[in-house]
Amino acid sequence: MHSRGYTAVEYGEVTVLVGARQGAYPYGNSLLVRGTSASLLIDPSLSLVGDAPAVDGVLVSHAHEDHIAGLAGYDVPVHTHLSDLDAVRSREVMVAGFGIPSDAVEAFDRRLRDEFHVEGRPDALGFEDGATFDLGGRTVSVVHLPGHTAGHSGFLIEPDGFLFTADIDLTSFGPFYGDLGSDVEAFEASIRRCREIDARWYGTSHQKGVIEGAAEFRRRLDAFAGVVERREAALLSFLGEPRTVDEIAEHRLVYRPHVEGPHVRPVERRTAVQHLDRLIGRGLVEKVEPERFRAA
């Protein structure tokens, strides 16, 4: 897999480098932010491979392969949230975080290396929520938005009023919280936090691109959050009779039936378990023997 190039689109003084196929995975959208004294690149995507614009530093929203595929083109300081730092520093740690079956790890690791050019960056530096990068007349502030990964972060660029929400991407696929470090409750809290931030532009990593205006962004954000509710409704319907976690995973809450790969079953299981825990806590689901669950 190789870079297919990007298209540069200006929003004030923020340049969005729109990845191939409108930033659909395995590609993505990157941001180029310039001030009077420094410049930053946010989330170097696969489309930047071989054509990476020169900058003084790189910010990584989270430790997933499609957000760092272009990182090899940069010999400048790299920053990510402390909770995702080990995974950016080590491809082995990143691979382990996906929680895929042991017999598939070697092939998955090879794919990250060969298709996404992922190499560990042991020199990467960690930031925390609220950290600010001053570029001279322009600042980039970290907005920690965990749930997708533990360290997943957005970036607010001022004075332009541009909020980059990374993989709170507003797609019809909905929120993804199927990794070992994912958390549906944290994801929902992050969605609520995004909703409270007033900006002129809201940029996403994939497909939806840039949305102008808080009202339209919040409308799309509510629809994105609604996918979580639909998954729970589908689960409750499926639990009209007792089911095991394996049966729920096979039924699928996340992926469509045609999607295959070693990641699918673990993601479906982790997603199912998180929703079961929530629904049990609300008194809507009960556990019955042996190891089965049904709607209360």
With tokens 């669950």, the residue in question is 293
pLDDT digits (tens, 9 = 90+) for 64-123: 999 999 999 899 999 999 999 999 999 999 999 999 999 999 999 999 999 999 999 999
Which residues of the chain fall short of a pLDDT of 70? Answer: 1-4
What integer pLDDT is reported at residue 1 of this predicted model? Answer: 39
What integer pLDDT is reported at residue 2 of this predicted model? Answer: 46
pTM greater than the 0.85 cutoff: yes
What integer pLDDT is reported at residue 18 of this predicted model? Answer: 96
